[in-house]
């Protein structure tokens, strides 16, 4: 099925979340989350700070355990997996950190090579270099291979962070606030990159953000979170036809003020 110019297979669910709850002491962060992500789909999870967006993706990759509910990723019940099986699943799920999470003491090439060497010791030096070249070309930074993170702009660091996630060719990408702290032009470039990654590497994605421009540009579907629940889901236009309450405040903050 083609939506927003992208092919989405609604017969194949890559992430299925049902009745998910998570609390930290008296703070109830997730309160009955249901979500499906289909193959080839970009789903934006939109919400204010502290609404549980980052907790959700940490549960998806098994960094946190839910109090109740189920999280199925690529056919696996995440909280039921043994450590070895969870590590194997994580190789199929790329997590792009908000901070880029690069090693300052390594060049860009060494940063990209690190997960390859750690997870596939049979690769030759030539194979590693070719894989790095493909990824650097995909993220539009082919000439940075010998640079250090300190020599890169904020936007370039974000791109290299995404590249390091892509190097293992994950089936699913999880982006945590990809445009946070970036100027508008760099944000636009990052949005284009997220769409290009999906098309070139055939990924399905969850994008955590509070940036409506990002949501509009990259989201096949938008799920708005408030107080631990999804209060609205649909395309960007479907969600933001209603200009009342939380939806109106989001719209006004991003596009009017």
83 and 11 within one domain: yes
87 and 6 within one domain: yes
What Å distances lie between residue 57 and 33, 51, 96, 106, 171, CA to CA? Answer: 12, 12, 11, 27, 15
Pick the closest to residue 201 from 113, 142, 135 (CA basis): 135
11 and 76 within one domain: yes
pLDDT-derived band of residue 2, with 50, 70 and 90 as boundaries? very low
- Quick one: tokens of 3? 């939506």
157 and 184 within one domain: no
139 and 74 within one domain: no
pLDDT digits 0-9 by tens, 86-109: 999 999 999 887 777 889 999 999
62 and 105 within one domain: no
80 and 7 within one domain: yes
205 and 161 within one domain: no
The domain boundary residue, chosen from 169, 189, 216: 169
pLDDT value for 65: 95
Pick the closest to residue 203 from 138, 142, 140 (CA basis): 138
22 and 126 within one domain: no
Torsion angles phi and psi, residue 165, rounded to 5 = -70, -40
Domain of 54, CATH number, reads 3.40.50.300
Q: How far apart are CA 173 and CA 80, in angstroms?
A: 21
Contact 117, 123 (CB under 8 A): yes
The domain boundary residue, chosen from 169, 197, 220: 169
pLDDT value for 257: 47
The domain boundary residue, chosen from 144, 169, 194: 169
pLDDT-derived band of residue 253, with 50, 70 and 90 as boundaries? low
Boundaries of domain holding 148: 99-169
pLDDT value for 208: 93
188 and 84 within one domain: yes
238 and 185 within one domain: yes
pLDDT digits 0-9 by tens, 66-81: 999 999 999 999 999 9
pLDDT digits 0-9 by tens, 230-252: 988 999 999 888 666 667 666 66
Query: How many domains are there within the chain?
Result: 2
Mean pLDDT of the chain: 89
What is the four-CA torsion angle of 242, 245, 250, 256, rounded to 10 degrees?
80
163 and 128 within one domain: yes
């Amino acid at each position: 099925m083609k939506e927003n110019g992208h092919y989405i297979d609604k017969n194949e669910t890559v992430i299925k979340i049902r009745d998910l709850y998570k609390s930290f002491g008296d703070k109830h962060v997730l309160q009955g989350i249901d979500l499906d992500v289909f193959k080839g789909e970009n789903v934006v999870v939109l919400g204010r700070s502290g609404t549980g967006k980052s907790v959700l993706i940490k549960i998806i990759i098994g960094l946190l355990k839910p109090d109740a509910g189920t999280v199925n990723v690529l056919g696996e019940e995440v909280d039921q997996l043994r450590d070895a099986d969870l590590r194997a699943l994580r190789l199929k799920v790329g997590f792009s950190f908000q901070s880029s999470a690069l090693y300052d003491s390594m060049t860009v090439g060494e940063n990209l090579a690190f997960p390859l060497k750690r997870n596939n010791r049979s690769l030759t030096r030539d194979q590693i270099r070719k894989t790095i070249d493909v990824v650097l070309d995909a993220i539009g930074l082919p000439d940075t291979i010998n640079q250090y993170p300190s020599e890169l702009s904020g936007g370039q660091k974000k791109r290299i962070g995404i590249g390091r996630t892509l190097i293992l060719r994950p089936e699913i990408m999880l982006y945590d606030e990809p445009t946070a702290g970036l100027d508008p032009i760099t944000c636009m470039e990052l949005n284009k990159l997220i769409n290009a990654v999906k098309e070139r590497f055939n990924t399905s994605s969850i994008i955590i953000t509070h940036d409506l421009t990002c949501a509009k540009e990259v989201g096949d579907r938008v799920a708005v979170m408030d107080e631990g629940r999804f209060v609205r889901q649909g395309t960007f236009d479907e969600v933001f036809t209603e200009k009342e309450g939380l939806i109106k405040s989001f719209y006004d903050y991003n596009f009017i003020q």
